[in-house]
Each structure stands twice: as structure tokens, then as C-alpha cells.
Chains A and B, each alone.
Chain A
Amino acid sequence: MEVFGVPSQALFGQLLIGLINGSFYALLSLGLAIIFGLLRIINFAHGAQYMFGAFVAYLLLNKAGIGYWWALLLAPLGVGAVGAAAERFMISRLYRIDHLYSLMLTFGLGLIVQGVFLSEYGSSGQPYPMPTQLAGGHNLGFMFLPNYRVWVIGLSIAVCLSAWFLIERTRLGGYLRAATENPTLVQAFGINVPRLLTLTYGAGAGLAALAGVMAAPIYQVGPLMGTEMIIVVFAVVVIGGMGSIMGSILAGFGLGVVEGLTKVFYPEAASTVVFMMMALVILVRPNGLFGTRS
């Protein structure tokens, strides 16, 4: 069977890989957007936190025998706690000065984490086994569909939608959005805004770690897995615009698919297509497809 002169197996296979990558882009850009929404900083350590999450899962398995499902819970909590501490003791000191400094600080924090894992484990990746419950897959006739990949896409969509619901439709989300608009006034109503900021940063870091654990069985667990990923995610964020949560989710999945399709039809451009899309979007809509703020 062929579609547009391409074997359907290859087309749907790449489409699936595109959706998988899109799941990670969406989760990571969601975390960036949540942090940016409240703290007004770009978290350059996001890639390192994603890698950190994957490594926590790897270490839990190899040092303590704790498997994938617990790692899915423990790694985000652990990395989130580290992130919250970093916000409380370092990043929070920089809110009053130019945001470029917090960008440099988070970049430096990312380097620290990366350097530690790089010197302990070298730059090559470590394999992480797939959870047995999700091994195997289904043959759909036109393609083979591994169970784990379905799980990743499903979980990513579920997490993204719950985050959206939490922020846009609940009371806690209301505080968050209010604190974005006018922190002083929200504080005057008796809400502890600095703690809200700390928790938000921790939640963003935790989301990155969650994506890392989900990625561990698919990609290998390596110290450099986060940086290449996060640069693409920055491009995704510029394309989507950081004003809206839903925008960053849609842009993440959409660009993953675009990247997958490029791999089928013009493989040479697969690694650069997201950046080219970014350049195009900057020219046409400088604020991003879903962005409202200038």
C-alpha cells in the first residue's frame, strides 16, 4: 500500500514518531509556558530537568530496584523539589532585575546538572527497559503500533489537558492567573505569592522530569538528551507564543507531526524544519500563532 508514492508503513511509522516527539514537545513547552506565565522568566534549565528526570528513573531502577511506575511519580516529585529549592534560594533573588540574568542563571544551573551526570556516566546513553505491562504492540495491518508509544501519547495528552483545566478552570488556577496580572493586589488579598511562584517553578520542573521518565524507555538515558530537545522546544514556544497554555500544547503536537512528515518526504530537512517554521512564523506573526501579548 502506498500513499503519495511513499509506503504506508514508512508514512505511518514516521507519523507515529512525530506524535511521540510532539508529546514531549508539548509537555516541555507546557512547562516552559507555565513558568513563564507567572515568573516571567525562560527556564533554560528545562532540558537539564528533563534529563534529570530520566536519570532519576534510571538510578531508582539500578540502585534501588524501583521500577517505571513508581519512577513516574517519584522522579517528578524529586526534581520538582530540587527546582523549587533553586527558585526559593536563587532565582527568586532576580525578579527585580533584568530577566536576562535569570536566563543566564538557569542556563548555568542546567550546566551544573549536566556536568555532574556527564562526568559520572559519560556522554553515551544508558538503556532503560520498557515496563513489562506495556511491552509488545498491535499489528493494525497498515502499520505496527507498539503499546508503549500509545501510552506515551495518551499520557501526554491527559497531562496537558489536566494542566490546562487546572489553570483555566479551577480556583487555584484563578489565583495563578490573577497573580500573573497583578501580584501586588493578589498578595493584598492574603495569598502568599512568593510561595505560589516557588510551587509554580517546582511544578514546571516536575513536568519536565515527568517527560524525562516517559522518554527513558524510548530514547536512551544520557546527560545530553535534554539540550538538543530543549532548543527545538524553544523554537516550538516561539511558534506557539507563550501567551496561551492550549497554544503551546497544540504547537508541540503539531510540530512533532510536521517533523515526522518531513522525515518521510524530505529527510535532509527533518532536523531543521521546526527552525524554518519558526523563522516563517516570526516574519508573518511575530507574537506567535497563539500569542497575544507583545
Chain B
Amino acid sequence: MNTMTLRLAKPLTLRRIQAAAFAAMIAFFAIAPLFIYPVYLMKVMCFALFACAFNLLIGFCGLLSFGHAMFFGVAGYATAHAAKVWGLTPELAVLFGMACAGALGFGTGLLAIRRQGIYFAMITLALAQMVYFFVLQAPFTGGENGLQAVPRGRLFGLVDLNQPAALYAFVFAIFVAGFFAVWRIVHSPFGQVLKAIRENEPRAISLGYEVNRHKLLAFVLSATLAGAAGSAKVLVFQLAALPDAHWSMSGEVVLMTLLGGLGTLLGPVVGAAVIVMMHNYLAHLDAWVMTIQGVIFAVCVLAFRRGLIGEFSHRIGRPL
């Protein structure tokens, strides 16, 4: 009887610790704007969601996409276009951005999942570069200037998002919704199949799972969530510009996730916060930031593969 309760108790505390950690994170982002510059926090939340979306693929499905900036960037341009040219309300503009990213994810995903491993990385990188050139040349993206002075508009036609508190709440809501979407996906039966594919793809196939369909759905979900992050960022900075779609942005999100911990739920959030902070404090070093990023990559891969949160959760023996 006693062992029985113990066995039952373990997963319960496990969930409790995870829930407590998530609650702490959400509480932090809810209270932090009182002490920390809100725009900076919103930037962190956008990149954190971007990294969580990316992590859904690499951490839980074993697919390394080196072109995730295309979803982030294209969603941003779509949102900017919808808000500025069509005059849509911000929630519709964000949804439109997510839909565009999802559609792009469907198209590129169909191609990319035909190959595995490093080929998958090369193909996504090349496709993202194609999208980058398209964005650079297309008539409605403003070329090198990007789309500037994107109106934030009124949420549901009611709340003016130019009020800092309202904007913060909006971005916070998108971030929390996205984070829980990832959490829900990972813990669903679908997420378990993804993990099975990551661990042993031939075996998942032999068990009768439609591996490619699962991968494609994971890719589209990841692209859509990355799109939500890109859309939110455009509303915060009122600017959709080329760097968001550049290959270096794809590298950046890999770095954030690796630093925080591949395959952990909290890791990408922590990794994004650290990298955004690094950009802020080391901005005066200009191009040395790139070298520092390279060094972090090398150190993480060689000596610190679990990442910050991964290492911590390994020490306490609980997944976070």
C-alpha cells in the first residue's frame, strides 16, 4: 500500500515542481515591468516564444531547422502589411501573420521532411535564404527600409495598444498562450509520438505511425508559433525589417535554445532572456558580439550540452 502511494506520488510531485516553475516564470513576467524596462521584457517574451516554437522541433522531434527566421520574418511582414495597409485590428493582424507563417511552414515542411538530419538543416537554411531574397525584392515589403511606423491599432477595436500597459498585456497574453500551447503539444499523445520519432524513427514507423504526417504537423505548429512571436515583435517595435528574416536570426534562435537547454520547456525562455540581455549590454562591442556568440556555441556544444535549465533539471532530477 505504501509503495503504491509512493509510486503514484512521484509523478504528482514531478508535475507540481514543473507547475511551480512555470508559475514562477509567469509571475516574473507579470510583475517584472514594475522594475525592468517593459520594452526590453516584451522583446524577451517575443524571442522566448520564438525559441519555444523552435524547440518544439529540435527538442521534441529531433529536427534541427536552420531556417526558422523565415517564419518569424514573414509573419512580421504579414502583420505589418495587414495593420498598416488593410487597417486590421492588432489581434486580426497577428492571426494573419500566424496564418502566413503556418502556410509557409506547410510548403517548406513538405519539402524539408523528405530528408533527415543534417540535410534537413541545409534544406531549411536554403529555403529560408530563398524567402529572404523574396522579401528583399517583393514590391510590398519596402526592401531595405522594411515596413516602418506600423500602427498598433485598437485591440478588438476597443483598447488602444499605444498605451504601454495594454501593449504589455497583449504581448504577455500571446507569450503565455504560446508557451502553454507548446506545453500542451508536448504532453499530448501527439507529442509522445514526436518523442518516439526523435528516439527511434524506424521503430516508430514499424509501430504503424505515419511519421511524415506527424513531422509535418509539428513543423507547421512550430512555424505558426514562431509566426506569433514575429507578429508580436512587429507590433512592439512598429517595424518589420530584413534582419528578422536573415539567416543570422535563424542561428540566433538555435543559440538561445541550445544555451537554455534543448528539449526543456523553460530552457528556451531562459536562453532567450540571456541572449537578449547580452545584445543589450554588449551592443557597444559591435561585431565582437558575433564572436562571443560563436564562443557560446562552441562552449555549449563541447562542455555544456544540456544547457542552463537542462543542467539544473538534471541536478534536481526533474524535467522542467
Choose, from A50-58, A59-67, A98-106, A133-141, the stretch at the interface: A98-106
Complex contacts, B155 vs chain A, CB 8 Å: none
Total contacting residues, chain B, CB less than 8 A = 42
1/0 per residue, CB under 8 A from B, across A90-119: the answer is 100110011111111101111111111011
Does any Cβ of B come within 8 Å of A26's Cβ? no
Q: Contact: B297 with A111, CB < 8 Å? A: yes
Complex contacts, B287 vs chain A, CB 8 Å: 115, 118-119, 123, 223
Complex contacts, B297 vs chain A, CB 8 Å: 104-105, 107-109, 111
Q: Contact: A115 with B121, CB < 8 Å? A: no
Q: Contact: A101 with B301, CB < 8 Å? A: yes
Does any Cβ of A come within 8 Å of B164's Cβ? no
Q: Contact: B302 with A279, CB < 8 Å? A: no
Complex contacts, B180 vs chain A, CB 8 Å: none
Q: Contact: A111 with B290, CB < 8 Å? A: yes
| Residue of chain B at shortest CB distance from A228 | B129
Given A99-B118, A107-B297, decide whether A275 and B127 contact each other with a Cβ distance below 8 A: yes
Does any Cβ of A come within 8 Å of B122's Cβ? yes
Interface residue tally on A, bucketed by range:
35 or more
Given A115-B287, A283-B111, decide whether A272 and B134 contact each other with a Cβ distance below 8 A: yes
C-alpha spacing A87/B305, complex, angstroms: 18
Choose, from A146-154, A193-201, A229-237, the stretch at the interface: A229-237
Complex contacts, B305 vs chain A, CB 8 Å: 97, 101
Does any Cβ of B come within 8 Å of A286's Cβ? yes
| Residue of chain B at shortest CB distance from A94 | B301
C-alpha spacing A108/B299, complex, angstroms: 9
Complex contacts, A108 vs chain B, CB 8 Å: 293-298, 301
Does any Cβ of A come within 8 Å of B126's Cβ? yes
C-alpha spacing A228/B43, complex, angstroms: 27
Does any Cβ of A come within 8 Å of B123's Cβ? yes
Q: Contact: B111 with A231, CB < 8 Å? A: no
Does any Cβ of B come within 8 Å of A250's Cβ? no
Does any Cβ of A come within 8 Å of B200's Cβ? no
| Residue of chain B at shortest CB distance from A231 | B129
C-alpha spacing A256/B133, complex, angstroms: 18
C-alpha spacing A105/B254, complex, angstroms: 11
C-alpha spacing A177/B257, complex, angstroms: 36
Q: Contact: B294 with A112, CB < 8 Å? A: yes
Q: Contact: B126 with A100, CB < 8 Å? A: no
Shortest distance in angstroms between B259's beta carbon and chain A's nearest beta carbon? 11
| Residue of chain A at shortest CB distance from B115 | A286
Q: Contact: B114 with A286, CB < 8 Å? A: yes
A203-241 residues at the B interface, CB under 8 angstroms? 223, 227-228, 231-232, 234-235, 237-238
Question: Which single member of A93, A115, A272 contacts B290 (CB below 8 Å)?
Answer: A115
C-alpha spacing A226/B48, complex, angstroms: 29
Closest 10 CB pairs of A and B: A108-B297, A115-B291, A111-B294, A115-B290, A112-B294, A118-B287, A275-B130, A119-B287, A235-B126, A234-B122
